[in-house]
Amino acid sequence: MSIRDYELSQHIAGQLYTFHSLVLAAMRRADGENLERLKTAFPSAWEELKARYNAPGGILPGDPERCAHCQQYH
């Protein structure tokens, strides 16, 4: 870790991000070794990230937003 990493963590912590959103963001930005660590630590988050990445608009069946999204096109 560098002082820059530490300073960035202070900035990020001051925002209104949820823990889950930070884990997903970390997975998107991670190099190979760190991604493997994150996948091991948070397997369900990894599965959800993959599913949402491949779903139109990131919306999965059962999401409350799915109904509103579908109604836009009817």
Q: What is this structure's pTM?
A: 0.78
Q: What is the pLDDT of residue 72?
A: 52
Task: Identify the CA nearest to 23 among candidates 37, 2, 3, 8.
Answer: 37
Can you point out the beta strands (E) in 7-74?
Answer: none
Helix (H, G, I), strand (E, B) or coil at 23: helix
Distance separating alpha carbons of residues 23 and 61, to the nearest angstrom? 22
CA distance to 2, 14, 63, per residue, from 52 (Å) = 32, 26, 11
- Sign of the dihedral through C-alpha 46, 49, 53, 55: positive
For 1-74, strand residue ranges (E) read: none
Per-residue model confidence as pLDDT tens for the chain (74 residues)? 899 999 999 999 999 999 999 999 999 999 999 999 999 999 999 999 999 999 998 999 888 876 655 555 43
Domain count within the chain: 1
Q: Which range of residues forms the domain containing residue 24?
A: 3-71
